[in-house]
Amino acid sequence: MFESIERVPGDAILGLIQQFKDDPNPNKVDLGVGVYRDEHGNTPILRAVKDAEKKLIDTEQTKAYIGSHGDPQYGEYILQTVLGADSKVLAANRASATQSPGGTGALRLAADFLVSQLPGKAIWLPNPTWPNHLGVFEAARLEIKRYPYVDDNDQFDFDAMLKKLKSIPKGDIVLLHACCHNPTGFDPSQDQWHQILEVVQDRELLPLVDFAYQGFGDGLDEDAYGVRLLADHLDEMVITQSCSKNFGIYRERTGCFIAIAKDEEDMQDVRSQLATTARENYSNPPAHGSAIVATIMGSAELTAAWHRELDEMRDRINDVRQKLVEGLKPHGLADKFAFITDQRGMFSYTGLTEDQVNKLRDEYSIYMVASGRANVAGLNDDNIEYVCKAIADVVGSGK
């Protein structure tokens, strides 16, 4: 029976991992895979996470299921982190947290929930967006449509974005990146978030806000500005959240799906449906990652340590952005790539063409996604000069 099954190409980004591993060049640089790297090129386990795990080893007493909604304490901490401890939504019991297997699991939970409970609604994604958004929503049989996000020069085009949002049919779903837009690194300003809110209200749209990088842009509270603005002024919205990046627990698959309803009664109805959706999808989420997060956030000492480490990661990313532009200055390219310092988070839409990306890979063993998206966290003091020289070669010196 299996002889009729066709082979399909593997995931392009995951395929870069194997190409990079197989490359014998000692100067190779990985700017493709979307994980944080420190100045030594490692993806470290945070000290706060290590301390929390040691505490869990001594105190954990069961490996029983944690239920379809996951660890309730974890859910409470995530709600406060995303919406703010003084949120009016939380005070009115209008928000529900359902733990999920990573941010991707939260997106699939959202997709299945929306298909079953709001049939016939299309979801509008920015162009470009994280490629797996397409895979997740297509698999759930959601109708996908697009709105523009960057222009032909790979720069943020807010006017085009807003114009398209104003034409979306009333009642449709619109996916918004909360911060550190993947793959471009371009985020709306606070003023632009207010304009987005006005359009969402006027068109009666349902926002699905993907919040995968809280704390990696300007800070935990600063990065939540758009999310909290929408939550404070809308009756309904949904949010998908991930702890992979800001806690560095990628492989623990720890995320959350947050639903906000008009009132507590509606929220309980939604919550009941979410339990069923989760049960039919993966039954129960994994417990270890949520236990790590809850342990950290339940301790003032560990929370303070986590905040310091998160600040260190964010500051390093922003510092590397500055160094990249500075490193291009001797090649006459600082002005051409100055926008990189305006972007936020790990990713940068560099503006490099696919041919230029291929040349970087083939001639310099510098790996990034074909679209020109680079993970700037892969840069450090040991390789940044090499990368700048390579970029100057493939682009052409600006001198």
Dihedral, CA atoms, 50, 83, 101, 280, nearest 10 degrees? Answer: 150
Sheet holding 95-101, edge to edge: 95-101, 254-260, 237-242, 206-211, 173-177, 122-127, 143-148
Residues 6 or more apart from 45 whose CB is under 8 A from it? 248
Let me know if 193 is a catalytic residue: no
- The β-bridge partners of 256 are 99, 241
Under DSSP, is residue 95 helix (H, G, I), strand (E, B) or coil?
A: strand
Let me know if 58 is a catalytic residue: no
Contacts 24+ apart (CB under 8 A), 231-235: 231/83, 231/87, 231/89, 231/95, 231/260, 232/87, 232/88, 232/89, 233/197, 233/201, 234/197, 234/200, 234/201, 234/207, 234/260, 235/260, 235/261, 235/262
Catalytic member of 130, 187, 193, 306: 130
Maximum distance among all Cα pairs of the chain, rounded to whole angstroms: 66
Q: Closest by alpha carbon to 99, among 129, 138, 73, 133?
A: 73
**Helix, strand, coil in percent for the chain, rounding step 5:** 50, 15, 35
Contact (CB, 8 A) for 290 and 74: yes
- Read off the DSSP letter of residue 168: S
Token readout for 120 is: 């016939």
Catalytic member of 112, 172, 210, 223: 210
Measured CA to CA, the distance from residue 130 to residue 182 in angstroms comes to 5
Let me know if 130 is a catalytic residue: yes
Measured CA to CA, the distance from residue 359 to residue 336 in angstroms comes to 19
Distances in Å between the Cα of 11 and the Cα atoms of 6, 131, 132, 351, 360 are 15, 10, 9, 22, 20
Catalytic residues, which ones? 130, 210, 245
